[in-house]
Amino acid sequence: MKLALLLLRLLPPEISHFIALNTLNFLYKLNLTDILFPYEDTSEPFNFKSLTFKNRLGIAAGLDKNGDFIDSLGSLGFGFIEVGTITPLAQQGNPKPRIFRFPGQGAIVNRLGFNNKGVDYLVKKIKLRNFSGILGINIGANKTSEGQKRINDYVECFKKVCPYADYIAVNISSPNTPNLRSLHQEENFLPLFEALNFARNEMKYHNPMFIKLSPDEDEKVISVILAAIKKFEFDGVIASNTTVTKDNLRYSGRHNLDGGLSGKPLLKKSNELLKIAHSHDSHLLKIGVGGVDSKESFDSKLDLGASLVQIYTSFIYHGPQIVKKLLR
């Protein structure tokens, strides 16, 4: 496994990502994932509303944007899987190169820009899944959408995925879609929350809704968002998305590193956001994500008030073995 991961790192990031996930899919179809990555889950289940998470570890949005790998990822022992971010129309995302690896620091910088095959493609894939665990769907807006059209994008995605989603995550915090983070401003997020709340009632959707937050906003901004989440009776937050701050990332400066930083250097900042969210509302469900690559960092999220934890970068660097390492 270590040799395979090392060989994959010799390839450009997006090519290695494609090969790794399609290889995992191939192994799953041959019924080999249980043999190659054996794991006996002794975790206590976590219950929230009508949902039962078999454990507290999940895969974050971004790894499987289009729902192509739900079953194979689900076979590795995750308690839940979040797919997306999905948009109404398919889009290519930002120009390449757009992913930069820093393996020595356990970090990745990406500026993918919501590249995905569109919500209708995702729904088709979800209908075909065998995975019976908890499935979250992360929704967003197309790059060219602004103002009311941007709100309409979220509502369209919500209505199309809600019949199949165990929970829905609303992504207002990606740094790679122009002006998306302006949705952290009250004059912008209130109309969005109102529209989603109306759609939720219209569709009679009773499963959880989470708002995915940026770690780059100050406590005052976060507190206003948390108050609105409580007002609209949404269920919780995902803390956090990637950060545009790269003060603790060591790099030569040869590359334009615009985009979001994930992995180990994000741990402190994402934990600070988690701590703020928990101090403002301890009853709000919180999913902690950012920098988790060890049992200690996993437990730090739970200690700060998270009920669930997600990984992304550490799965890319360590592969399926990370599940056993975090849940042992």
Q: Is 308 helix (H, G, I), strand (E, B) or coil?
A: strand
What is the rounded radius of gyration, in angstroms, for the C-alpha atoms of the chain?
Answer: 18
Sign of CA dihedral 199, 203, 206, 210: negative
Distance CA 100, CA 14 (A): 10
72, 174, 240, 297: which one is catalytic? 174
Distance CA 155, CA 35 (A): 42
Give the DSSP H or E segment for 20.
helix 13-29
Regarding beta strands 99-102 and 80-86, do their DSSP bridges make them parallel or antiparallel, or are they unpaired?
unpaired
Regarding beta strands 107-110 and 260-263, do their DSSP bridges make them parallel or antiparallel, or are they unpaired?
antiparallel
Active site residue 252: no
Distance CA 259, CA 94 (A): 10
How is 119-145 classified by DSSP, letter by letter? HHHHHHHHHT----SEEEEEE---TT-
Residues known to be catalytic: 174
